């Protein structure tokens, strides 16, 4: 059981959700506002993607990230900033030649994937620790070992904690190899990503199995998607982990009731406190996770 819980709110994501809920933020001003509102509702950390303000599709434009981060920092709101670094690994084969990239492909190298992280220097950025078939179409997310090693080395150089997003046990195996190679600062920080097709299923048994493969001393969190968001949050706390909620992973507060990010944060905090635990402030989260800005011991 974890009695001191870090709550992350993933406020928008990059998925095709803009037309499914009026609450999904699109512009930098909207995304920053949602991160601020999540923090005011009690979130310790905000996990941030950006979107093209015109199309609503996911973007990796460093200028958009910089605007969001500047808006949050200039607001005076204290929240741990966690930027995605998962963009730039999308591959979709061409319909007429599967050996060639088709529409939807966006492949860049490790330095370009981290350009916005270098510009903004958040406390945390995500690091998706392997390749994955993403959904039922031809979409593949690609992160090869050399790409990941380079990204890990850069984040360590900049003092940014990589959140090791793992979607199956092989991803944990590779992350542990990077730790053994000295590419990750101690303690490593994991996010067990459950329910994404076709990664690990969102069950308590799967979460427990993945948790048991983590290295000693690692900090970890987990999330489920859609209606399993809150059950997986409760399971993570019971198993000793931290939690993530937000509109990136789930659009609903109750059946048929669209949620805001702040409402999802409030809902999970209610669950956590009823379990006898408490939610850490942003500064307490920095101290616990040993992030930039942590108080000296």
**Tens digits of residue pLDDT in 234-255:** 999 999 999 999 999 999 999 9
Model confidence over 259-288: pLDDT tens digits? 999 999 999 999 999 999 999 999 999 999
Residue 48 lies inside a defined structural domain of this protein: yes
Q: Residue 225: CA atoms inside 13 Å, Cβ hemisphere, count?
A: 15
Angle between helices 229-238 and 204-212 (to 10 degrees): 40
Residue 117 lies inside a defined structural domain of this protein: yes
Residue 32 lies inside a defined structural domain of this protein: yes
The enclosing domain of 95 has a CATH number of: 3.20.20.70
Share of the chain above pLDDT 70, in %: 99
Model confidence over 41-95: pLDDT tens digits? 999 999 999 999 999 999 999 999 999 999 999 999 999 999 999 999 999 999 9
Residue 295 lies inside a defined structural domain of this protein: no
* Domain total of the chain: 1
Burial letters 112-150, b for 16+ CB under 10 A, else e: ebbbbbeebebbbbbbbbbbbebeeeeebbbbeeebbbb
40 CB neighbour count, 10 Å cutoff:
12
Residue 259 lies inside a defined structural domain of this protein: yes
CA distance linking residue 210 with residue 277, whole number of Å: 23
pLDDT of residue 297: 55
Angle between helices 169-180 and 204-212 (to 10 degrees): 20
* Domain span at 34: 4-289
Residue 231 lies inside a defined structural domain of this protein: yes
Residue 205 lies inside a defined structural domain of this protein: yes
Model confidence over 137-176: pLDDT tens digits? 899 999 999 999 999 999 999 999 999 999 999 999 999 9
Residue 239 lies inside a defined structural domain of this protein: yes
């Amino acid at each position: 059981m974890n009695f001191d819980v870090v709550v992350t709110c993933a406020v928008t994501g990059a998925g095709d959700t803009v037309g499914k809920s009026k609450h999904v933020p699109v512009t930098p001003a909207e995304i920053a506002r949602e991160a601020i509102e999540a923090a005011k509702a009690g979130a310790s950390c905000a996990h941030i993607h950006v979107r093209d303000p015109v199309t609503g599709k996911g973007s990796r434009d460093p200028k958009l990230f910089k605007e969001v981060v500047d808006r949050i920092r200039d607001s005076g709101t204290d929240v741990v900033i966690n930027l995605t670094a998962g963009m730039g690994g999308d591959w979709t084969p061409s319909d007429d030649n599967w050996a060639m990239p088709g529409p939807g492909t966006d492949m860049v190298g490790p330095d370009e994937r981290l350009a916005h992280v270098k510009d903004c220097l958040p406390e945390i950025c995500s690091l998706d620790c392997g390749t994955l078939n993403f959904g039922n179409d031809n979409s593949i997310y690609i992160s090869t070992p050399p790409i990941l090693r380079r990204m890990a080395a850069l984040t360590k150089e900049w003092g940014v904690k990589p959140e090791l997003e793992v979607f199956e046990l092989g991803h944990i195996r590779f992350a542990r190899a990077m730790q053994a190679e000295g590419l990750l600062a101690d303690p490593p920080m994991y996010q067990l990503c459950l329910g994404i097709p076709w990664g690990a299923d969102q069950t308590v048994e799967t979460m427990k199995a993945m948790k048991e493969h983590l290295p000693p001393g690692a900090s970890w969190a987990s999330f489920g998607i859609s209606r399993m968001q809150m059950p997986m949050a409760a399971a993570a706390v019971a198993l000793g982990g931290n939690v993530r909620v937000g509109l990136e992973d789930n659009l609903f507060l109750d059946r048929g009731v669209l949620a805001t990010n702040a409402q999802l944060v409030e809902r999970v905090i209610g669950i956590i406190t009823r379990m006898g635990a408490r939610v850490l402030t942003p500064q307490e989260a920095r101290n616990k996770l040993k992030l930039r800005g942590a108080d000296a011991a």
